[in-house]
Amino acid sequence: MSAHKGLWITLEGGDGVGKSTQARLLEEWLGAEGRTVVRTREPGGTEVGALIRDIVLHHRGDIAPRAEALLYAADRAHHVATVVQPALDRSEVVVQDRYLDSSVAYQGAGRVLDSAEIRSLSLWGTGGALPDVTILLDLDPAAARTRLDAADKPFDRLEAEKADFHGRVREAFLALATAEPERFLVVDAAQPPAAIAQTIRERVEVALRG
């Protein structure tokens, strides 16, 4: 992947940790600071991705774990090529809900596939693309489930998985953050949203200056 002038920020974590809220708050703050922001997500950040998102999250029936991993990787390859890289080349800030770390956690640890293979698949599909900053919103899965229950909306395929699945996903995310401390910022997602947002802004300010 070619060098870029912009800044690429991803938000990661289990379902119900508050990624969408923090992505919105970060977008608003960056915009107020005069930055041009592209806010996007995976899966579903493109027209093609929206079709894939419907399959992987809302398909009524089983999807083989390896097929699921390939679908996420296909969405990612197209998304980076058509949304992320062009925005970075324009020196814009990309704020993205989920990237390859989610595949390593969900399809690798959650589905008990080889995490290294899952990561390599996404890196191949995206030409080796990695974010500048990854914010991991960490929350006990039981607390996250309480939030999802309070939202009173149908669960998607991954949200509906059992507690042990979500436990493996959380541990995988934390292991990824430990392995790449220069890229990751781990934030306690049990804090008030405003406090979380402030912590994220402080890390992003450093990245913008760098």
Provide the pairing of β-strand 93-97 with 7-12: parallel
As a whole number of angstroms, the distance between CA 189 and CA 143 comes to 10
* Nearest one of 27, 45, 107 to 81, comparing CA atoms: 45
First to last CA, the chain: 20
As a whole number of angstroms, the distance between CA 140 and CA 135 comes to 16
Q: Structural domains in the chain?
A: 7-209 (3.40.50.300)
List the Cα angle 35/197/106 in 5-degree steps: 100
Q: Quick check: helix, strand or coil at residue 186?
A: strand
Q: What is the pLDDT of residues 101-157, one digit of tens each?
A: 999 999 999 888 999 999 999 999 999 999 999 999 999 999 988 888 888 777 766
Which pLDDT value is given to residue 59?
Answer: 82
